[in-house]
Amino acid sequence: MVLLVALVLGVLAGWGWARWHGQPYQAPVFRFSWLVLVGFIPQLLIAYLPGTHRFVPNWLAAFSLLASLVVFLGFVWLNRQLPGMPILLAGLMLNLIVMVANGGWMPISPETASLVIGADISKYVDVGGRFGQKDILLLSQDTRLGFLADRFLLPAWSPYQVAFSAGDILIAAGAFWLLAKPPAKLTELIVE
C-alpha cells in the first residue's frame, strides 16, 4: 500500500513538473526490466493468489520470498544510475537483512498485528504463524533486528491499515524520487 501510494504520487509529481515546464512526462527507462517479472512471480504465487499459499510449505515460501528480494536487488543494482535507485536499494537491503535474520519472513509483533486488524490477533494466529502475505507473528523479544520489522502503521484516520518497515519507507521514497525527478537533460537546461 505504501509503495503503491509512492508510485502514484511520484508519477503525478513528475507529470505535474513536466507539464508546468511545458515538457512531456518521461518515465525512466530501465535496463533488464524482465527481472521485475522474474522477481514478482514467486511473490504472486506465495502471497497474492488466493489459496495458493496454503499448498506451499513454509520453508519453500520463505526461500522463495528471499530469492524474489535478491532478484529485485539485482534489478535495482543494474539500474542504480537512475535517480532514487540508491534509496530503493538501501530499503531492499534492510528488508532482506531482517527477513534473513528471522527465517525468511518479515517479522511483526502481536501488538502491531492487532492494530492492523483492529482485534486481538491471538484469536486468529499463533505466535510463529504467518500473518498476511509475507509476515510472521513474533514476540518482540524473539525478533531479531526488531527495529527493521513491520512496526509502523498508517495514521489511525486512514481507512486502510497496514504495517510497514523502515525498509519499506526507503523503498517508497526511492520509487517516488525515481518517478518524480525530471529527466537529467531538463534539469541541466534549467540550471544553465
Side-chain half-sphere of 100: how many Cα atoms within 13 Å? 11
In DSSP terms, which residues pair with 189 in a beta bridge? none
Residue 182, pLDDT score = 65
What three-state secondary structure class fits 76? Answer: helix
pLDDT per position in the chain (192 positions), as tens?
788 899 999 999 999 999 998 889 988 999 999 999 999 999 888 888 877 777 888 899 999 999 999 999 999 999 999 999 999 999 999 999 999 999 999 999 999 999 999 899 988 899 999 898 889 999 999 999 999 999 999 888 888 889 999 999 999 999 999 999 765 554 444 444
Residue 159, pLDDT score = 86
What pTM does this model have? 0.89
Query: What are the extents of the domains in the chain?
Result: 2-23+30-103+148-191
Residue 58, pLDDT score = 87
Q: Where are the beta strands (DSSP E) in the chain?
A: 106-108, 130-131, 135-137, 152-153, 163-164
- Amino acid letter, residue 29: V
Residue 188, pLDDT score = 43
